[in-house]
Structure 1
Amino acid sequence: MKHINKNVIMLGWVSYFTDMASAMIMPILPIFVVIVLDEGMDKLGIIVAISTFASYALRLVSGYISDRYGIVKPLVVGGYAFSALSKPLIGFTQGYKTVAGLQVAERLGKGLRSAPKDVMIVQYIRAHASGKTFGFHKMMDIAGELSGALILFALLWYFGQSETVMRNIFYATFVPGIIGLVIVTFFVRDVPKPMTQSQQSFTLTQDDKKTIGALFFYFLFLLFAFNPSFFTMQAKAVGIATAVIPLLFVVSSGVQTLSSYIFGILIDRFGVKRVLAFSYACGAAAQGSLMLQSPFFTWISYVFLGLFTVASLNANRAFIAQSATNKGSVYGIFYAGVALFGALGAYISGLIWEHMNMKIALVYAFSGTLALTLFFLLMKGRHEN
Structure 2
Amino acid sequence: MGQEKPQRKFFGLSQNVFVFGFVSMLTDFSSEVTVKILPLFLANALGVKPAIIGFIEGLAESTATILKWVFGWLSDRMKKRKWLAFSGYAISNVTKPLLYFVSSWPFAAFLRFADRTGKGVRSSPKDALLADSSEKKKLGRSFGYGRSMDTLGSVFGMLAAAGMIAASGSAAAMTLTRSIYQKLIIMVSIPAVLALPLIAAFVRENAPRTGNPRTLNLSLSGFDWRFKTFLIIIVIFTLGNSSDAFLMLKAQKAGLDIVQIFLMLAMWKGVTSALSIPAGILSDRIGRNRVIRAGWLVYALVYLGFGLATQGWQVWALYALYGVYYAMTDGVASALVADLVPQSEKRGTAFGLYNAAVGVSALPASVIAGILWQRINPSAPFIFGSILAFVAMIALTVLMRVSAGTNPTAVT
Does TM-score exceed 0.5, indicating one fold? Answer: yes
Deviates more, 1:45-54 or 1:315-324: 315-324
The alpha carbon displacement at 1:202 in A equals 8.1
Structure 2 distance, partners of 1:357, 1:118, is 38
The alignment's TM-score, normalised by the length of structure 1, stands at 0.93
Question: Is there any run of 5+ residues in structure 1 with no aligned partner, and where?
Answer: none
Whether 2:230 is the aligned partner of 1:191: answer: no
For residue 379 of structure 2, give the secondary structure of its aligned residue in structure 1: helix
Q: State how 1:95-106 maps to structure 2 within 5 Å.
A: 95-106=104-115
Deviation per CA, 1:15-69, whole angstroms, max 9, x where unpaired? 1000010122233211101110111001101110111111111101001011122
TM-score by length of 2: 0.87
Specify the SS of the correspondent of 1:215: helix
* Separation in 1, partners of 2:224, 2:73: 13
1:223 equivalent in alignment to 2:239: yes
Runs of 4+ in 1 over 4 A off after TM superposition: 196-205, 374-385
Q: Which runs of 5+ in 2 are unaligned?
A: 1-9, 406-412
Give the letter aligned to residue 258 of structure 1: A
Equivalent pair of 2:64/2:120 in contact (CA under 8 Å): yes
Matches within 5 A, 1:89-168: 89-160=98-169, 161=172, 162-168=177-183
Separation of aligned partners in 1, 2:339 and 2:63:
28
Out of 362, 368, 373, which is 1:342 matched to? 362
Could you tell me whether the CA contact under 8 Å between 2:76 and 2:213 is conserved in 1?
A: no
2:329 equivalent among 295, 312, 319: 312
Deviation of residue 179 (structure 1)? 0.8
Deviation larger for 309-318 or 4-13: 309-318
What is the aligned length? 384
After superposition, what is the alpha-carbon deviation per residue over 1:173-225, rounded to whole angstroms, capped at 9, x for unaligned? Answer: 2211101122112221222562x655988866644453132232122111112
Q: Distance in 2 between matches of 1:375 and 1:329?
A: 24
- Give the fraction of aligned pairs with identical amino acids, expressed as a percent: 24
Please report how far the alpha carbon of residue 379 of structure 1 lies from its aligned counterpart in structure 2 after TM superposition. Answer: 6.3
Q: Match for residue 408 of structure 2?
A: none
Q: Indicate the residue corresponding to 1:173 in structure 2.
A: 188
SS of 2:203's equivalent in the other structure is coil
- Report the secondary structure of 1:183's partner residue: helix
Q: Is 1:212 matched up with 2:228?
A: yes
Deviation at 1:257, TM superposition (A): 0.7
Structure 1 residues 375, 109: closer, same or farther in 2, change over 3 A? same
Q: Aligned-pair distance for 1:373?
A: 3.3
How many Å separate the matches in 1 of 2:43 and 2:288?
Answer: 39
- 2-side partners of 1:383 and 1:69: how far apart? 34
Cα shift at 1:74: 1.7
CA distance in 1, matches of 2:279, 2:324: 10
Report the equivalent of 2:376: 356
**Residue-by-residue CA offset, 1:237-265 (whole Å, 9 max, x unaligned):** 11011111011211211111111110111
